[in-house]
């Protein structure tokens, strides 16, 4: 599944807590804050409400093994044909339930226990699951069944645990390549998705700062060049270069600026190397971290005539 992670806009507005608005939203929702729409019961809530009003079912001890849980449907324990049968059947059911308007009720009857009771896995169960996760972060149907049998859980529970575990563990993130450029100190060694989102946010904030600074510097440079253009006696003394040379102080072509100068000089027959040296003599080069790995700044060849861009 290929995803375009770097489609993020850099025109993010950072709120007072340092998070872009949509990330703040993510942050808050992950912290289980009730959403605005929670006034109206969601399907699961309907299910819960329905169950709360029906006293016909006995309360089950969900920490008991499936075989011991009274009334539980154990169809999955033999789920050879459908390792993800519950999810799949739920997916298949969704459309029909939507049409029938009987959402949520049929699941109960399939499950046998009605409401969502939360199982707390024992330390042993968690340890075995962790061990298994270290070996392979995904399970094939056989492994899932074996693990479920070993742990006395339903295969669906093992499956859910692995899904949640994968969500919690992020080794590679879309912005991980920026961490070398912008090291972020983290107090906690364990990477959760939420923590990684915070780190990503910090990376983007720093990149944004750098780009703003770069933009300011370039605008200043354009102004200087424009002023230079208006004083003809200055480049009367300059000899046109035959080749474009590297800047001796920074040992690079000074990024897009020199490229734009080269482009401009090729069309205007102006001396870029001398301009460059002049700039070095007249203002200090800022040594920044390596430029962020996204699109280089494109300047029009006629940028010397263009009015300064507003940031």
At its nearest, how many Å lie between DNA and the CB of residue 202? Answer: 18
DSSP string, 61-87: -TTS-TTTSTT---GGGG-SS-TTHHH
Report the site for DNA in 164-183 (rule: CB under 7 A).
Answer: 164-168
Q: Does 285 bind DNA (CB under 7 A)?
A: no
Q: Does 198 bind DNA (CB under 7 A)?
A: no
Q: Does 32 bind DNA (CB under 7 A)?
A: yes
Q: Does 44 bind DNA (CB under 7 A)?
A: yes
Q: Does 286 bind DNA (CB under 7 A)?
A: no
Q: Does 56 bind DNA (CB under 7 A)?
A: no
* Cβ atoms within 10 Å of 57's Cβ, excluding its own: 14
Q: Does 310 bind DNA (CB under 7 A)?
A: no
Query: By C-alpha distance, which of 184, 179, 202 is closest to 292?
Result: 179
- Smaller CB distance to DNA: residue 26 or 291? 26
Helix axis angle, 123-135 to 155-168, nearest 10° = 70
Tokens standing for 174? 């879309």
Q: Which residue has the tokens 């060694």?
A: 189
> DSSP 3-state assignment of 93?
helix
At its nearest, how many Å lie between DNA and the CB of residue 190? Answer: 9
Report the site for DNA in 1-30 (rule: CB under 7 A).
Answer: 1-2, 26, 29-30
At its nearest, how many Å lie between DNA and the CB of residue 161? Answer: 5
21 in Cβ contact with 13 (< 8 Å) = yes
At its nearest, how many Å lie between DNA and the CB of residue 70? Answer: 16
At its nearest, how many Å lie between DNA and the CB of residue 134? Answer: 16
Backbone torsions φ then ψ of 175, nearest 5 degrees: -110, 15
| Interface region with DNA, contact rule CB under 7 A, candidates 152-160, 179-187, 208-216, 232-240 | 152-160
CA distances from 251 to 66, 87, 166, 245, 248 (A): 69, 59, 45, 10, 5
Q: Does 252 bind DNA (CB under 7 A)?
A: no
Report the site for DNA in 73-132 (rule: CB under 7 A).
Answer: 81-88, 90-92, 94, 104, 107, 111, 115-121, 126
- Smaller CB distance to DNA: residue 47 or 276? 47
Q: Does 72 bind DNA (CB under 7 A)?
A: no
Q: Is the dihedral of CA 159, 164, 170, 174 positive or negative?
A: positive
The whole-angstrom separation of Cα 215 and Cα 217 is 5
- Smaller CB distance to DNA: residue 67 or 81? 81
> Count of residues binding DNA (CB under 7 A)?
55
The whole-angstrom separation of Cα 288 and Cα 104 is 57
At its nearest, how many Å lie between DNA and the CB of residue 38? Answer: 5
DSSP string, 170-213: -SS-TTGGGTTTS----S-SS--HHHHHHHHHHHHHHHHHHHHH
At its nearest, how many Å lie between DNA and the CB of residue 95? Answer: 9
Tokens standing for 304? 């010397």
Q: Which residues bind DNA (CB under 7 A)?
A: 1-2, 26, 29-32, 34-35, 37-38, 41-45, 48, 62, 81-88, 90-92, 94, 104, 107, 111, 115-121, 126, 138-139, 141, 156-157, 159-161, 163-168
């Amino acid at each position: 599944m290929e995803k375009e992670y770097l489609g993020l806009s850099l025109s993010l507005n950072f709120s007072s807590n340092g998070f872009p608005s949509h990330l703040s939203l993510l942050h808050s929702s992950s912290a289980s804050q009730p959403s605005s729409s929670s006034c109206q019961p969601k399907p699961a809530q309907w299910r819960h409400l329905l169950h709360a009003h029906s006293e016909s079912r006995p309360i089950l001890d969900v920490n008991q093994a499936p075989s011991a849980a009274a009334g539980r449907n154990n169809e999955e324990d033999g789920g050879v044909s459908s390792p993800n049968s519950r999810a799949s059947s739920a997916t298949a059911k969704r459309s029909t339930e939507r049409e029938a308007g009987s959402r949520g009720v049929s699941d109960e009857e399939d499950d046998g226990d009605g409401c969502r009771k939360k199982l707390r896995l024992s330390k042993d169960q968690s340890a075995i699951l962790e061990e298994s996760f270290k070996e392979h972060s995904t399970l094939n149907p056989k492994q899932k069944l074996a693990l479920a049998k070993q742990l006395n859980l339903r295969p669906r529970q093992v499956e859910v645990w692995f899904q949640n575990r994968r969500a919690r563990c992020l080794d590679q993130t879309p912005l991980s390549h920026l961490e070398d450029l912008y090291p972020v100190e983290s107090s906690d060694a364990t990477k959760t998705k939420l923590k990684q989102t915070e780190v990503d946010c910090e990376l983007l904030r720093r990149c944004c700062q750098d780009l703003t600074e770069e933009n300011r510097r370039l605008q200043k440079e354009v102004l200087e060049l424009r002023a230079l253009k208006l004083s003809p006696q200055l480049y009367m003394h300059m000899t046109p270069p035959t080749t474009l040379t590297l800047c001796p102080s920074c040992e690079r072509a000074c990024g897009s600026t020199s490229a734009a100068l080269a482009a401009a000089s090729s069309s205007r027959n102006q001396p870029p190397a001398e301009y460059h040296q002049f700039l070095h003599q007249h203002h200090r080069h800022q040594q920044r971290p390596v430029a962020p790995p996204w699109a280089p700044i494109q300047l029009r060849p006629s940028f010397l005539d263009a009015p300064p861009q507003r940031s």
